């Protein structure tokens, strides 16, 4: 089965600093998703990447998928307390009834004043 490894597991940064979260797959990714979760809440969709070398941005968050489509990074510029939460990368896995999203273990981000 496809495994997604995220690093770091947790991150504490000072407000205004930049940070990067990585997601590595054991297999070629055909779709890589980034979600954000506040503890005890649902997931908020951030971005989806499909093509090798693709890069997408939304406000201060940029996600990239490498050319080999096995690694993705999420970069936050000038972090703010509102960026705090758990960031999850996900990829479609083939299951009996079709495809479902499988997730990495997540990266917990805390932004301090």
Partner 1 sequence: GAVVSQHPSRVICKSGTSVKIECRSLDFQATTMFWYRQFPKQSLMLMATSNEGSKATYEQGVEKDKFLINHASLTLSTLTVTSAHPEDSSFYICSARGGSWNTEAFFGQGTRLTVV
* Binding-site member from 14, 40, 82, 113 for partner 1 (CB under 8 A): 40
Checking 26-29 for CB contacts under 8 A at 24+ apart, the result is 26/2, 26/70, 27/2, 27/70, 28/68, 28/69, 28/70, 29/65, 29/69, 29/70, 29/72, 29/91
Tokens of 6: 């995220």
Stretch 53-92: interaction string toward partner 1, x if CB under 8 A:
-----------------------------------x-x-x
Instruction: Supply the minimum distance, in Å, between the C-beta of residue 102 and partner 1.
Output: 7
Query: How many residues would you count in the chain?
Result: 113
* Binding-site member from 35, 61, 63, 79 for partner 1 (CB under 8 A): 35
Q: What's the burial of 71, exposed, middle or buried (CB within 10 Å: 0-12/13-18/19+)?
A: middle
Instruction: Supply the minimum distance, in Å, between the C-beta of residue 108 and partner 1.
Output: 8
* Binding-site member from 48, 60, 71, 75 for partner 1 (CB under 8 A): 48
Euclidean distance between CA atoms 44 and 51, whole angstroms: 22
Nearer of residues 19 and 87 to partner 1, judged by Cβ: 87
Binding site for partner 1 (CB under 8 A): 30-31, 33, 35, 40-45, 48, 50, 88, 90, 92, 95-106, 108
């Amino acid at each position: 089965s496809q495994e997604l490894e995220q690093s770091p597991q947790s991150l504490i940064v000072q407000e205004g600093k930049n940070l990067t979260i990585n997601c590595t797959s054991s297999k070629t990714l055909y779709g890589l998703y980034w979600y954000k979760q506040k503890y005890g809440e649902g997931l908020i969709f951030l971005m989806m990447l499909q093509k090798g070398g693709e890069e997408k941005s939304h406000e201060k968050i940029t996600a990239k998928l490498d050319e080999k489509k096995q690694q993705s990074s999420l970069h936050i510029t000038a972090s703010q307390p509102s960026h705090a939460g758990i960031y999850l990368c996900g990829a479609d896995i083939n299951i009996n009834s079709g495809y479902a999203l499988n997730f990495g273990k997540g990266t917990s981000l805390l932004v301090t004043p």
